[in-house]
Amino acid sequence: MVADKSDKPEFKRSPSRFVDRITADGAEGWPVEPGRYRLVVSRACPWANRSMIARRLLGLEPALSLAVADPVQDERSWRFTLDPDDRDPVLGIRYLAEAYHARDPEYTGGVSVPAIVDVPSGKLVTNDYLRLPAELATEWRDLHREGAPDLYPEPLREEIEEISDAIFRDVNNGVYMCGFARTQQTYERAFTALFDRLDALSDHLATRRYLVGDSITVADIALFVTLVRFDAVYHGHFKCNRNKLTEMPVLWAYARDLFQTPGIGDTVDFDHIKRHYYVVHREINPSGIVPLGPDLSGWRTPHGREVLGGRPFGDGTPPGPPPEEERVPARF
């Protein structure tokens, strides 16, 4: 994720700079090949979390390896200090910025995750965070596991895109617009749009288990990554405090349903999430103190959404457990 956190009164999200596509036919110069690319993420980042979930649900772990950056950045942004010798063991680099500069030595912009890096050349291929989950669901289809769900079904794509655009504008980006607002007016405008949208989504989900169709799609993934961070970070840190998620019954049950779905909740690391936001955003939290709350045990309580029907994986099956090296430590 790349954000313009300047003194401008309204938060603006910087567009992805590198938007090359990795395609099944290789028409754009980057063919899908097992083992050729490495997905670089931070478990703290909601945009990276989207790609992590899609990769897990589709069973792409053997084909697309994963690099996890330290949730706390320094002046050079994302770093591999969680790995031995502070280097990514596959790419051999200390900072994701090195892959950006391998691609463009003159690049001076932000360094964001998720990013896909070409392992043989060490060059960044894409940081197109919005499009990556759908690309993994379509262009990488030949490498999906047996029983992989269709996260971007063609007959539903127009509806998926419409609701995903609204979620991005008012919810995914809306929490940041609240958190980094520089005037009362811009904050209140973003705050109102955020909760108006959450109320509309709650009404939409009151009688249906998933956002579009009767199984999980990339639209659900897009909404989940903000909801799962809401009480831990956005409610207090970003002043999105009309309600906690736990005080919005439909959305709270919906989020728990997804969290308890194999391949979704097992990508979430609340420790990384909280440390990133509260330590890195010193302009919002100058002390860098990370709060001990909230109580996270409610994420594993029954949600009751099964009565609405729906099949989480459509005609597919649940993914197996994550690879041992990718397991998130149990926090609660």
pLDDT at 17: 82
The answer to whether 78 is a known ligand-binding residue is yes
Tell me the C-alpha distance between 286 and 177, whole Å.
19
Contact 182, 128 (CB under 8 A): no
Intervals of the chain under pLDDT 50: 1-2, 5-7
Point out which residues pair with 41 in neighbouring strands.
Answer: 68
The one catalytic residue in 37, 129, 152, 176 is 176
Secondary structure (DSSP) of 291-312? P-----GGGGS---GGGG---T
234 and 208 fall within a common domain: yes
Contact 228, 50 (CB under 8 A): no
> Furthest-apart CA pair in the chain: how many Å?
55
Contact 64, 115 (CB under 8 A): no
174 and 284 fall within a common domain: yes
> pLDDT by residue (tens digit) across 78-129?
999 999 999 999 999 999 999 999 999 999 999 999 999 999 999 999 999 9
pLDDT at 209: 98
18 and 135 fall within a common domain: yes
Per the confidence metrics, is the pTM higher than 0.85? Answer: yes
* Residue 45 among the catalytic residues: yes
pLDDT at 51: 98
What residue type is 131 in one-letter code? Answer: R
Average pLDDT score over the chain: 95
Q: Domain range holding 44?
A: 3-143
pLDDT at 6: 47
pLDDT at 91: 98
The one catalytic residue in 45, 129, 178, 278 is 45
What residue type is 37 in one-letter code? Answer: Y
Structural domain count, the chain: 2
CATH of the domain at 312: 1.20.1050.10
164 and 298 fall within a common domain: yes
